[in-house]
Amino acid sequence: MTTADGNIIGTDIVINHGLPSRRWNLVVLGDGYRTSELIKYRYDVQNFIDKLKDTKPFDEVWNAINIYRIDVSSTDSGADDPVACGGTGATPATYFDATFCGAGIQRLLIVNNTTAMQVASDRVPEWDMILVLVNSTVYGGSGGAVATSSTHPSASEIVIHEIGHTAFGLADEYEYYAGCGSGEIGHDVYTGPEPFEPNVTINTDRNTNKWRHLILPTTPMPTTSNANCSQCDPQPSPVPQGTVGTFEGAQYFHCGKFRPEFNCKMRALGPPFCAVCREVIHNTFSPFLIPISQIKLTVTTGNRDIDGDNRVFLGFGGREFRCRLSNDSDANPFHLQNNTVTLTFGTSSNVEDSAINDPRNPFMDVSDATNFPVYIRVQPKCNSWDIISATVETIPQTSIFSIKYPKIVVGDDSGEKVELV
């Protein structure tokens, strides 16, 4: 069908980690959702986002990602399901013309890529990847210029697998095309050149293999070999889960191509990404992460001092940093009245245990500054502490956080927090 079979309703940024010019931007479109089903579409998108964030290594690079949801209504629900691939023969009128049976494979779900890219470009010009969620419970999806996924119960896993293709150039690691029990021909032994994808290879030499830096000296090479190339290899893994080596059977061939680990999300739904795939994902997102290299806390005290034995902490970016100057015999640097002290964490640090109290380790992104509360915490109980001013600044500069008026802190056994805004 065509774009006459629906309408663009609107665009929302549902995960916002900063300017699109500084982040990796994923655009999600829907196909086969009638206007009355757009609430379901938004629910499907949120389910996908929750699953993506919980999937390693996306949880580690989450601050690099913006996600935009474009609401698109279609005249009918679902997707074309051709009889030629064993489908129902349904031909609903949808905006992006989603259909199963791409290239004669039932699970291969495709859309009109040109239309999808045009809509994304009109609404989010700086998009890095496009995903189309198709309102059908039939199992299917695809990678390529535009990734697709149905709403099958395994949809979230399908989406993340297809993102592996579209966003990171990862190959399928499964060793069949139509299926291990399909009787397929032409997929017994691969005899071509080295694949360009980063997660499949023909090279089992530990000295020249493209992921050799991840292979332990004690790991056999090849790690598994298929004794019968006319079928998928039925043997279990001979090594512990997570071992990187060369396992025969990958990218639609029973033999001749090798994958990095016995199992991976690019081979089957459910397992985590293998180490090679995780490394590729990390490297893709690294340019979109903006590290905080320094935090400065400046506090001016008033006429009511704090006991030198009280501990003071700075809460910033979801972490707490111990406020104690290096080579200072007192537990905190703010025990003097009418005094100004500046603590520096990270670059040019002047605090005790600088390696622990460092925003660079573990990595802290500039968006963390506004995603979490900023506060000063006193522990344990203190009688009172007169703070005239307190300011937090960072490199690179995010927001400047400070108290808006002088504050008297009365601590308790668990410690009192003074939030900075």
Question: Burial letters for 287-325: b for 16+ Cβ neighbours within 10 Å, e otherwise?
Answer: ebbbebbbbbbebbbbeebbbeebebbbbbbebebbbbb
Number of CB atoms found within 10 A of residue 97's CB:
22
CATH no., domain 294-420: 2.60.60
Task: Phi first, then psi: give them for residue 412, nearest 5 degrees.
Answer: -135, -170
Q: Which residue stretches of 57-133 are H helix? A: 113-123
CATH no., domain 3-168: 3.40.390.10
Q: Write down how long the chain is.
A: 421
* 3-class SS shares of the chain: helix, strand, coil, % to 5: 20, 25, 55
Q: Looking at residue 4, what is its pLDDT?
A: 85
Give the pLDDT confidence of 61-79 residue by residue, as tens digits: 998 999 999 999 999 999 9
Q: Looking at residue 413, what is its pLDDT?
A: 45
Strand positions, DSSP E, 294-415: 294-301, 311-316, 319-322, 340-346, 374-379, 385-395, 401-402, 407-409
Q: Looking at residue 409, what is its pLDDT?
A: 53
Q: Looking at residue 182, what is its pLDDT?
A: 84
Please state whether the peptide bond connecting residue 380 to the residue before it is cis, i.e. omega within 30 degrees of 0. yes
Name which of 109, 98, 115, 93 is nearest 8 in CA terms.
115
In angstroms, how far is CA 308 from the centroid of its own chain?
43
Give the pLDDT confidence of 178-209 residue by residue, as tens digits: 888 888 889 999 999 999 999 999 999 999 99
Domain boundaries, the chain: 3-168, 170-268, 294-420
Question: Burial letters for 49-72: b for 16+ Cβ neighbours within 10 Å, e otherwise?
Answer: beebeebebbeebbbbbbbbbbbb
* 290 touches 365 (CB < 8 A): yes
Q: Which two tokens stand for residue 108?
A: 């291969």
Strand positions, DSSP E, 213-336: 247-250, 253-259, 294-301, 311-316, 319-322
Name which of 242, 257, 264, 254 is nearest 196 in CA terms.
257
Name which of 377, 376, 380 is nearest 413 in CA terms.
380
Tell me the C-alpha distance between 262 and 39, whole Å.
40
Give the pLDDT confidence of 196-254 residue by residue, as tens digits: 999 999 999 999 999 999 999 999 999 999 999 999 999 999 999 999 999 999 999 99
Q: Which two tokens stand for residue 97?
A: 């013309």
Task: Phi first, then psi: give them for residue 33, nearest 5 degrees.
Answer: -110, 115
Residue segments in the chain with a per-residue pLDDT below the cut of 50: 410-414
Please state whether the peptide bond connecting residue 359 to the residue before it is cis, i.e. omega within 30 degrees of 0. no
Tell me the C-alpha distance between 11 and 27, whole Å.
10
Q: Which residues contact 197 (CB under 8 A, 6 or more apart)?
A: 169, 170, 171, 251
* 409 touches 385 (CB < 8 A): yes
Q: Looking at residue 420, what is its pLDDT?
A: 67
